[in-house]
Amino acid sequence: MVCSKNSLRLKIGSLFLVALEGKTLTEEEKEALSLFGLKHFIFFSRNLGSYTETRALLQEIEALAGKGLRAIDQEGGPVCRLKPPYFPNLKAPFSLAQEKDPEKAVAKEASLCANELKRWGFNLNLAPVLDLGGEKTPSFLKGRTFGEDPKKVAVLARIYIKTFKKAGLLSCAKHFPGLGGVKNDPHYSLPVKEAIEEKDLLPFREAIKAGVPAIMTTHLLIPSWDEAPVTFSPKLVSFLRRKLHFKGLILTDDLFMGGALEMANLEEAVLRAFLSGHDLLLLCGSFQESLKVLSNFADESAKSTILLEKLFQKKDFIEKQICTLFSKSIT
């Protein structure tokens, strides 16, 4: 299989979910969209202004890149990229779970979030969080979970996912296989969890049964499962596919995070995450650094038959998945 460097660069864009620098596209970003065939983007507060400003950015991206994933972390509570006065104030998942009728509360909040995101032009919300955690959970998860009871979390996750599906928007269950009980924040270092129990997996099992279209893994080392962290572990990705029968998109968490970089530099982390079987590779840091990663990925693929074959297979899989999701879910 022979590919020129330019044509190879154009093919790798489908594998990445990339963050941009600001509220408008720079000339460098416009060139990169064309050079690497970038299609899928994640948006942070730095990219978001008023409804009019944000719609203009999304429309410009679509004009240059075509249709693709437009992702955002709009969990509610502590993690909301869009905030008042532009976007409705969303309650924290943990507080919703404490309400008198939590199922009704989650359905109402999920419906509000999904319909508003759709109106703005986003099509993928990186939620719900399915880690188990209560009032004493570490700060990086505080308020973001539905609680410690796996059965309750599973029920509320199912409602959230189905509500999004009904609204015509994609959701993403995270952080597989569960950060409940860890102390280290994966944004800064690699957490270790000696074992994953059935209670950790139950919410993800139910999310899959509910038809969740995407699952995000986490930077986590589980010595009883694998010597490699989840992000780099073919065993864990295979478990998700073969044991839990998940057929949708598998995303990494941000590969700029300290938990990913503790055992590899950024270029190595991206290659290892790709070779482990992940579909979409998440890059949320500096766009200039992301460009270096993309160039390195293209160079390494040109030198490796294994990488090149896997790239073509994965590109086809992702494009078919997204085409199916768009035709079934997004209107």
Domain CATH code at residue 252: 3.20.20.300
pLDDT, position 9: 85
Burial of 323 from C-beta contacts in 10 A (0-12 / 13-18 / 19+): exposed
The tally of domains found in the chain comes to 1
Beta strands in the chain (DSSP E): 16-19, 40-43, 70-72, 74-76, 79-80, 124-125, 170-176, 214-217, 249-251, 281-283
6 within a domain of the structure (yes/no): no
Active site includes 187?
yes
Using one digit for the tens of pLDDT, what is the confidence trace for 95-138? 999 999 999 999 999 999 999 999 999 999 999 999 999 989 99
307 within a domain of the structure (yes/no): yes
**Strand pairing class (79-80; 214-217):** unpaired
Tell me the average pLDDT of the chain: 95
225 within a domain of the structure (yes/no): yes
Residues in Cβ contact with 174 at an 8 Å cutoff, skipping those fewer than 6 apart: 126, 127, 128, 129, 130, 131, 215, 216, 217, 218, 253
Active site includes 299?
no
| Cα–Cα distance for residue pair 42/74, rounded to 1 Å | 11
313 within a domain of the structure (yes/no): yes
Burial of 303 from C-beta contacts in 10 A (0-12 / 13-18 / 19+): exposed
83 within a domain of the structure (yes/no): yes
Beta bridge partners of 162: none
- Whether the ω angle into residue 223 lies within 30 degrees of 0, i.e. cis, is no
Q: How many CA atoms lie within 13 A of 186 on its CB side?
A: 25
**Which one from 131, 253, 254, 279 is the annotated catalytic residue?**
253
**Tokens representing 185?**
């924040």
Q: What amino acid is encoded at 271 in this protein? A: L
pLDDT, position 225: 94
Using one digit for the tens of pLDDT, what is the confidence trace for 10-61? 889 999 999 999 999 999 999 999 999 999 999 999 999 999 999 999 999 9
Please indicate, yes or no, whether the overall pTM of this predicted structure exceeds 0.85: yes
Using one digit for the tens of pLDDT, what is the confidence trace for 229-268? 999 999 999 999 999 999 999 999 999 999 999 999 999 9
pLDDT, position 5: 65
Angle, helices 287-303/305-328, rounded to nearest 10 degrees = 120
pLDDT, position 331: 41
13 within a domain of the structure (yes/no): no
284 within a domain of the structure (yes/no): yes
**Which one from 185, 187, 226, 299 is the annotated catalytic residue?**
187
81 within a domain of the structure (yes/no): yes
Rounded to 5 degrees, φ, ψ at 114 are -60, -45
pLDDT, position 101: 98
Domain range for 161 is: 20-328
